[in-house]
Amino acid sequence: DAGVIQSPRHEVTEMGQEVTLRCKPISGHDYLFWYRQTMMRGLELLIYFNNNVPIDDSGMPEDRFSAKMPNASFSTLKIQPSEPRDSAVYFCASWNGQTMNTEAFFGQGTRLTVV
Amino acid sequence: AQTVTQSQPEMSVQEAETVTLSCTYDTSESDYYLFWYKQPPSRQMILVIRQEAYKQQNATENRFSVNFQKAAKSFSLKISDSQLGDAAMYFCAYRSAVVWGSQGNLIFGKGTKLSVKP
């Protein structure tokens, strides 16, 4: 397996524009997580899915953020409209919840810059 | 709610020496998993080592070992024979062993930036 694949790796957009981040988890993993990393706040969980169903979205900052997982192999995180304070690295991670003692695998992240 | 604290924002070690990174956590659960992840400048999050709370034996992976003190809720990482490639951010993380509700996720500390001097 190629691991967790995120796209794009870098995104620069203007304030007010819509941004869509994409993630392909590892095949067979039933959990998918979206994290945001900033210098000030570190790694924060935004939302996670189990079997394509959102389980906990309490970390989503506000209504401008939305996430979907239409099938087991694809998820999106959308920001609309984007603001400069959304600038961060966004990570997607997947995990096989059937094997409790294993780790979550991370994608390489998307560095988002909103100008 | 569980929390993870890394009290050392930055650490430095001489090449070939040993360094210990600290991590403490707070939880009321008795069963859980602890992890150390490494994040080099490439941004990739790489698992270094994991520990199951029900195991008393400290985990070891080559030059990396942990000192797990369950009663003290402490989980430090020791890197022996430090190499230049060990320079990175290191994150301590907690995950509940009870995967219901909002307990399937990893809770991270703020990280420790490790520099290795040649």
Residue A1: the pLDDT is 66
Token pair, residue B110, equals 């703020």
- Residue-wise pLDDT for B94-110, tens only, equals 998 876 655 578 999 99
Q: State which residue of chain B sits closest to A46, comparing Cα positions.
A: B105
The helix or strand, by DSSP H or E, that contains position A92, with its residue range, turns out to be strand A88-95
DSSP category for residue A45: E
Q: What is the pLDDT of residues A62-88, one digit of tens each?
A: 899 999 999 999 999 999 999 999 999
Residue of B108, B107, B70, B90 whose CA lies nearest to B20: B90
Run of H or E including A113 = strand A110-114
A74 reaches B (C-beta below 8 A): no
The radius of gyration of chain A from alpha carbons, rounded to an integer in Å, stands at 13
Decide if A106 and B109 are in contact by the 8 Å CB cutoff: no
Does the beta-carbon distance from A108 to B44 stay under 8 Å? yes
A59 CB-near residues (< 8 Å, 6+ apart):
A44, A45, A46, A47
